[in-house]
């Protein structure tokens, strides 16, 4: 027997096996702004677990990701990266138009047990007939971000603000005690943010939860629009676009901002000199014993069907979105609020936050996640949104006899534009 030959054969076999075992895979992700930065913050932890998977996070900008992804799906998936960031309210546009463009995550390890780690409101728009087109990422549990010093000067305890009527009364006191300051702001002309937040709190939206009918003119939505006009007429809420709100935060011209929990990072980074002067409380409701939770904003991660590295892509999503380590890393770094229900058990979530006057704001904000009612955007979100915005502007200016007439008109327009029937 030729032992020299056998040894050489073994050596060659080992050499052949070694490069394959050490060969690295690179996956690419399309995202934007803070979301992209947050994903990058998870890479150190991810690569400790998977050193041979390299992750290239590309910051393309929000509209670019949406436009390029739609164009690529229309071209059969050509040009898509391994993972695409998809906003929840736009998600169903993709699934409806291009159901084959993204991979069913349940085929890669997204088991029913893992799906159950997310609240229903985050999964509603991402799963269709048992197919999970995307995995929930961040969410936007709504909170009231307020100036402690302004409230204290007015003798207003936010814990006593249980209803929107309480909020109106408190707003008058705060504004009287702090001349030149408005209680809160909303983008009345260019957005539907306040309507969507309060309507979601009350269990209403443009469409039914099953997406089969138009519900914008249902009683809860009508009551929402009525209350919004009462706040505007009372003078406690004024119109402002995004940039104006940020400027008002810093200059002390506003006492309260209502937004999704991701706004925490906006306040903290935009007004660093006001540390200790801001706090958070739960959103009011139409009645004291009514619901006090809603969602605004949030994204997901979807694996493209064209990806050549689906298993590696899933490993990244599994780490970044389905572990407390991944989710809380993004929370710490960039204030992206986890959708993962177990994240509220992480020690960091319970820690007092110096900027927020020692308040454990993340514990308070995340506590509302399980209470949020699902709200569907459907494939017709943009149609309904555009119609509602025009209706809102006209109604707040006195262009309709009442909120019911305004939303009945909006419902009819949405029905004409989409073909979806108005709910009985």
Given this model, what pLDDT does residue 145 score?
Answer: 98
Given this model, what pLDDT does residue 6 score?
Answer: 39
CA distances from 343 to 109, 259, 337 (A): 20, 20, 9
Tell me the two tokens of residue 162: 């249980």
What architecture does CATH give domain 3-140+296-352? 3-Layer(aba) Sandwich (3.40)
What architecture does CATH give domain 141-295+374-418? 3-Layer(aba) Sandwich (3.40)
Residues 6+ apart with CB under 8 A from 104: 131, 132, 133
Strands (E), 46-96: 53-59, 83-87
Section 59-85 average pLDDT? 95
d(CA 284, CA 317): 35
d(CA 8, CA 11): 5
Q: Would you say 387 and 305 are in contact if contact means Cβ atoms under 8 Å apart?
A: no
Given this model, what pLDDT does residue 1 score?
Answer: 37
d(CA 194, CA 239): 11
d(CA 229, CA 398): 10
pLDDT value at 268 more than 60? yes
395 band by pLDDT with thresholds 50, 70 and 90: very high
Assign 1 to helix, strand or coil: coil
Residues 6+ apart with CB under 8 A from 6: none
Q: What is the pLDDT of residues 337-373, one digit of tens each?
A: 999 999 988 999 999 999 999 999 999 999 998 899 9
Q: What is the pLDDT of residues 130-152, one digit of tens each?
A: 999 999 999 999 999 999 999 99
In terms of Cβ atoms closer than 10 Å to its own Cβ (0-12, 13-18, 19+), residue 16 is exposed
Sketch the domain layout of the chain as residue ranges: 3-140+296-352, 141-295+374-418
Assign 209 to helix, strand or coil: coil
d(CA 54, CA 57): 10
Given this model, what pLDDT does residue 379 score?
Answer: 85
d(CA 95, CA 11): 51
Section 264-286 average pLDDT? 94
Q: One fold for both 3-140+296-352 and 141-295+374-418?
A: yes
Query: Cα 53 vs. chain centroid, distance in angstroms?
Result: 28
Given this model, what pLDDT does residue 226 score?
Answer: 98
The DSSP bridge pattern shows strands 237-239 and 184-186 to be parallel
Q: What is the pLDDT of residues 313-329, one digit of tens each?
A: 999 999 999 999 999 99
Strands (E), 240-389: 256-260, 278-281, 295-303, 337-338
Paired with 58 in beta bridges are 30
Put residue 81 in one of left, alpha, beta given phi > 0 → left and psi -120 to 50 → alpha: beta
220 band by pLDDT with thresholds 50, 70 and 90: very high
pTM of this prediction? 0.85
Section 295-323 average pLDDT? 96
């Amino acid at each position: 027997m030729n032992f020299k030959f056998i040894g050489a054969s073994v050596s060659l076999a080992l050499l052949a096996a070694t490069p394959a075992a050490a060969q690295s895979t690179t996956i690419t992700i399309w995202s934007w702004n803070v979301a992209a930065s947050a994903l990058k913050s998870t890479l150190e932890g991810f690569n400790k677990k998977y050193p041979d998977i390299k992750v290239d996070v590309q910051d393309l900008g929000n509209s670019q990701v949406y436009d390029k992804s739609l164009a690529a799906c229309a071209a059969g998936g050509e040009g898509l990266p391994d993972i695409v960031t998809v906003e929840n309210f736009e998600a169903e546009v993709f699934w409806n138009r291009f159901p084959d463009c993204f991979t069913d995550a349940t085929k890669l390890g997204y088991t029913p047990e893992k799906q159950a780690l997310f609240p229903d409101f985050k999964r509603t728009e991402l799963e269709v007939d048992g197919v999970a087109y995307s995995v929930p990422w961040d969410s936007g549990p709504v909170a009231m971000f307020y100036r402690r010093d302004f409230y204290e000067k007015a003798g207003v305890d936010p814990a006593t603000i249980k209803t929107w009527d309480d909020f109106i009364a408190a707003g008058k006191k705060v504004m009287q005690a702090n001349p030149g300051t408005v209680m809160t702001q909303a983008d009345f002309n260019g957005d539907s943010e306040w309507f969507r937040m309060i309507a979601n709190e009350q269990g209403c939206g443009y469409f039914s939860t099953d997406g089969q009918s138009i519900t914008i003119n249902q009683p809860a939505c009508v009551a929402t629009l009525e209350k919004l006009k009462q706040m505007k007429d009372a003078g406690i809420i004024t119109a402002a676009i995004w940039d104006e709100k940020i400027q008002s935060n810093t200059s002390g011209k506003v006492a309260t901002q209502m937004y999704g929990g991701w706004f925490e990072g906006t306040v903290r980074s935009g007004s660093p000199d006001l540390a200790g002067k801001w706090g958070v409380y739960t959103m009011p409701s139409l009645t004291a014993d009514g619901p006090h939770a809603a969602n605004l904003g949030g994204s997901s991660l979807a694996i493209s069907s064209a990806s050549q590295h689906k298993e590696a892509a899933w490993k990244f999503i599994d780490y970044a979105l389905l572990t407390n380590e991944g989710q809380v890393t993004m929370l710490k770094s960039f204030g992206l609020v986890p959708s993962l229900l177990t994240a509220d058990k992480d020690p960091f979530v319970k820690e007092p936050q110096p900027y927020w006057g020692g308040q454990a704001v993340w514990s308070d904000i995340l506590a509302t996640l399980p209470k949020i009612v699902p709200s569907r955007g459907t494939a017709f979100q943009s149609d309904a949104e555009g119609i509602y915005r025009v209706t809102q502007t006209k109604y707040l200016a006195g262009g309709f006899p009442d909120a019911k007439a305004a939303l009945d008109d909006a419902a009819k327009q949405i029905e004409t534009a989409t073909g979806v029937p108005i709910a009985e």
